[in-house]
Structure 1
Amino acid sequence: MTKKSIFLLFIVMAIVAGAITVYIMMTPKAFYSEDEIIENMDYLTQEMEVLEVIQLDEKTYLVPLLLNGGESYGSSIWVWSGWKWECVGATTASDPQIIVNEGNSYIYWNVHPQDEVHEWEFYLTSERNYSVTTVGDDNQVEVYYPKIQMKNSVEFGKESYGYVEMPSEWKDVIGAFDSFPAETGFIPSSHSYMYQWQAYNDDGESIRLEHTFRNGGGGSYGGNYFFHMSQLDPENLE
């Protein structure tokens, strides 16, 4: 075998080895058992029980938690990091929040049953705005942003926890008004939006999550996977 043939064979083997490595990194391993979840939980130190293991998509899991013998209802989010499953966020009180992973977006929660939530209303809102941006040497882009107020109603369900996919209409609206989209393809870089929620009981009255947060509420988040949702002030609606 000539030196040229040996060199070409080496190149081919390197390409194959690289492809195998990429394939291994891109293909998630089986997710953890309940015991392994607790063993790999670095963020929370409380006594905890796994309520359920929920696969959101191929590379994202939601694990709702019961903490301190039922005093608190928390949650953890796990993503495939390329080599292992990694907990990227965990909380001791889980009002609705947003997880985004590789273009997939979800709203998830785990709240105390004594708050008696019957229905959620999720909102995408944005205030009116006008911007002028210089592009290049002398070109200006003028953009007017109208007020946006989009609502998505979701029935609570039987369990203390749950999730829904982010409404596709929200992403469409954000993309339509954004002149310079961020790399995530979801959150724009040139305009500010708010993600908010409101909870209602069986009588249709808005409520606060008093039992969910009666022991406070804390947690840790890693990476750029999360977007905060806040409780809506009805006075801001039009």
Structure 2
Amino acid sequence: MTKKAIFLLVIVMAIIAGAITIYIMMIPKAFYSKNEIIENTNYLNQEMEVLDVIQLDEKTYFVPLLSNDGESYGSSIWVWGGWKWNCIGVTTASGPQIVVNEENSYIYWNVHPKDEVHKWEFYLTSERNYSVTTVGNDNKLEVYYPKVQMKHSVEFGENSYGYIKIPSEWKEVIGSFDSYPAETGIIPSSHSYMYHWQAYNDDGESVRLEHTFRHGGGGSYGGNYFFHMTQLFPEDME
């Protein structure tokens, strides 16, 4: 076999080995057991147990947690990192939050039952805005962004935890603002949106998550996977 043939053979084998490696990295392995989840969860400031293991999609898991004293309701989010499952977010107390992984978006929560949440209302909001962009030497492009306030209601359910997919209507609205600028490159494609939640009890009264946050909240979030949600009070709505 000539040197040229040997060289080509080595190149082909390297390409095949690389393709096999990439293929192996893309396929998630079986997720951790409950004991392995606790062993691989970082930044917990108290002893926690796993309430459930919920697969959001092929590469994302939501794990609701409960402290050993039964007072702190936390959660952890896991994504496939190529070779193993990585904990990208963990908290001992929080309201609803948004996780995004490879264009899949979810709202998830785990709150104290004593807060007596019966229904969630989730909101996508954006304030009115107006911008003027200069195109070339003489032309000005004026853009008006209307106020956005979209609501999505969800019944709480029997468990302290749960999740939903981000409403498709929200994605359509966000895309309607950003698709044209992305195509032309003229108008800045960034537009500010806020995500909120509101909780109601059986009597339809707005409630705060006082028991959920009674002992404060602690944890860590990594990467660009999360969008923070804040409570929206009735006086803040139009």
Q: Secondary structure at the match of 2:90?
A: strand
Partner of 1:57: 57
Partner of 2:185: none
Q: How does 1:90-105 map to 2 (within 5 A)?
A: 90-105=90-105
Unaligned runs of 5+ in 1: 182-187
Superposed displacement of residue 140, structure 1: 4.6
Q: How does 1:73-222 map to 2 (within 5 A)?
A: 73-134=73-134, 140-178=140-178, 179-180=180-181, 190-222=190-222
Amino acid of the residue matched to residue 37 of structure 2?
I
**Taking structure 1 as reference, are residues 30 and 138 closer, same or farther at Cα in structure 2, changes over 3 Å only?**
farther
**Taking structure 1 as reference, are residues 202 and 77 closer, same or farther at Cα in structure 2, changes over 3 Å only?**
same
Q: Deviations over 1:85-140 (max 9, x none)?
A: 11111111131000000100000000000111110000001111011234677765
Checking the alignment, whether the CA contact within 8 Å between 1:43 and 1:89 is kept in structure 2 is: no
Identity of aligned residues (%): 81
Q: Distance in 2 between matches of 1:138 and 1:39?
A: 63
Q: Distance in 1 between matches of 2:152 and 2:125?
A: 12
Amino acid of the residue matched to residue 156 of structure 1?
F
Partner of 1:225: 225
Q: Distance in 1 between matches of 2:30 and 2:141?
A: 48
Q: Distance in 2 between matches of 1:223 and 1:43?
A: 15
Partner of 1:46: 46
Runs of 4+ in 1 over 4 A off after TM superposition: 134-140
Partner of 1:70: 70
**Taking structure 1 as reference, are residues 24 and 134 closer, same or farther at Cα in structure 2, changes over 3 Å only?**
farther
**Taking structure 1 as reference, are residues 147 and 76 closer, same or farther at Cα in structure 2, changes over 3 Å only?**
same
Partner of 1:185: none
Checking the alignment, whether the CA contact within 8 Å between 1:62 and 1:75 is kept in structure 2 is: yes
Q: Secondary structure at the match of 1:109?
A: strand
Single out whichever of 57-66 and 124-133 deviates more from structure 2: 124-133
TM-score normalized with structure 2 length? 0.92
Amino acid of the residue matched to residue 17 of structure 2?
A
Unaligned runs of 5+ in 2: 183-187
Q: Secondary structure at the match of 1:170?
A: helix
Q: Distance in 2 between matches of 1:137 and 1:218?
A: 52
Amino acid of the residue matched to residue 226 of structure 2?
F
Superposed displacement of residue 12, structure 1: 1.2
**Taking structure 1 as reference, are residues 84 and 141 closer, same or farther at Cα in structure 2, changes over 3 Å only?**
farther
Q: Distance in 2 between matches of 1:223 and 1:49?
A: 25
Q: Deviations over 1:138-174 (max 9, x none)?
A: 7654321001111000010000000000011101101
Superposed displacement of residue 3, structure 1: 2.3
- Number of equivalent positions: 232
**Taking structure 1 as reference, are residues 44 and 189 closer, same or farther at Cα in structure 2, changes over 3 Å only?**
farther
Amino acid of the residue matched to residue 133 of structure 1?
T
TM-score normalized with structure 1 length? 0.92
**Taking structure 1 as reference, are residues 37 and 202 closer, same or farther at Cα in structure 2, changes over 3 Å only?**
same
